[in-house]
Amino acid sequence: MFRSLLFIPGNNPSMIQNADVYLSDAIIFDLEDAVDLNEKDNARNLVSNYLENAVTYPKNTILRVNSIDTNYFYKDVELIKSGIVKYILLPKSSVDSINVLEEQLERIEKEHNLDEVKIIALVESAKSIIEIFKIAKHKRVEAILLGAEDLCNDLEIPRTNSGEEILYARSRVIYACAANHIISIDTPNTSIDSEEDLEEDCLNAKRLGMKAKTAIHPNQLAIINDVFSPSTEEINWARRIFDELDKNKGKSVFSLDGKMIDKPIIVKAEKILEKAKQFKLI
């Protein structure tokens, strides 16, 4: 379960060494877009050394590999042999590329006796958005991340702060994830100097149904965590639902503050409290 996921460039040793102290629920070690072509091998070596030798690690370690159509992909995936990487973030995800990645993961897991590494599918093209319900059904896919910048480039449209141009794509991600009980993750906000833009972007995504958001700078994490966490009001409301449920044992429907409480409302309250416990808010 995530609220926030922070990208760390694989060629930034100071950020890598501090990966376990950031406020994000997960760290994404980025070997792809954040790394220039002439730095690819160096970045992989830096991340590999960290994974093999660090004393403490982030609670969720994600590796963003290069896409399967590059010469770097197979060497990148080999980094899971450390046993620290829990997820692979796969760029340009499609049904075919996920199947290729799964073959490599199965091979390495078997060779090194590893637990299963899950996949976070990065959808950033029109093809990916069209295939998204098939992608979401894959047994290894634990979450789907929308990559709005590359998607807008693919569509040849401008990327705006208001985000109308990605409403359809966001909605496809949200519904595919909800239907398959996996996590929908929103595209990062590139306005690192505007807290107002970031907060409004987070709120828009959450209202639609996104469950988490990526960050490209540590300064974005506090706002992202706040927006995607249950609020104090929501937690108090959920607790009252269960207090009343205890008082109304044997009843599947009861009233609270003049409103009918039935199974869907109880399930909603249960999810709020589950998230609050997960994020150590209660």
CATH code, domain carrying 108 = 3.20.20.60
Q: Are residues 33 and 160 in the same domain?
A: yes
Q: Are residues 11 and 148 in the same domain?
A: yes
Q: Are residues 238 and 224 in the same domain?
A: no
Number of structural domains found in the chain: 2
Q: Are residues 242 and 209 in the same domain?
A: no
Q: Are residues 257 and 147 in the same domain?
A: no
Q: What is the pTM (predicted TM-score) of this model? A: 0.93
Residue with tokens 């506090």: 222
What is the C-alpha to C-alpha distance for residues 175 and 249, in angstroms, rounded to an integer?
34
What is the C-alpha to C-alpha distance for residues 272 and 276, in angstroms, rounded to an integer?
6
Mean pLDDT of 29-36: 96
Q: Are residues 265 and 196 in the same domain?
A: no
Q: Are residues 141 and 236 in the same domain?
A: no
Mean pLDDT of 209-225: 97
Q: Are residues 217 and 245 in the same domain?
A: no
250: pLDDT strictly greater than 70 = no
Q: Are residues 190 and 247 in the same domain?
A: no
| Domain encompassing residue 253 | 232-278
* Confidence at residue 188, expressed as pLDDT on a 0 to 100 scale: 96
Q: Are residues 155 and 240 in the same domain?
A: no
Q: Are residues 85 and 13 in the same domain?
A: yes
Mean pLDDT of 216-227: 97
Torsion sign across C-alpha atoms 67, 69, 73, 77: positive
Mean pLDDT of 13-25: 95
Residue that terminates a domain, selected from 213, 228, 243:
228
Q: Which long-range contacts (CB under 8 A, 24 or more apart) does 248-255 make?
A: none
* Confidence at residue 74, expressed as pLDDT on a 0 to 100 scale: 97
Q: Are residues 62 and 170 in the same domain?
A: yes
Q: Which residues contact 237 (CB under 8 A, 6 or more apart)?
A: 269, 272
Q: Which residues are bridge partners to 6 per DSSP?
A: 27, 215
3-state secondary structure of 282: coil
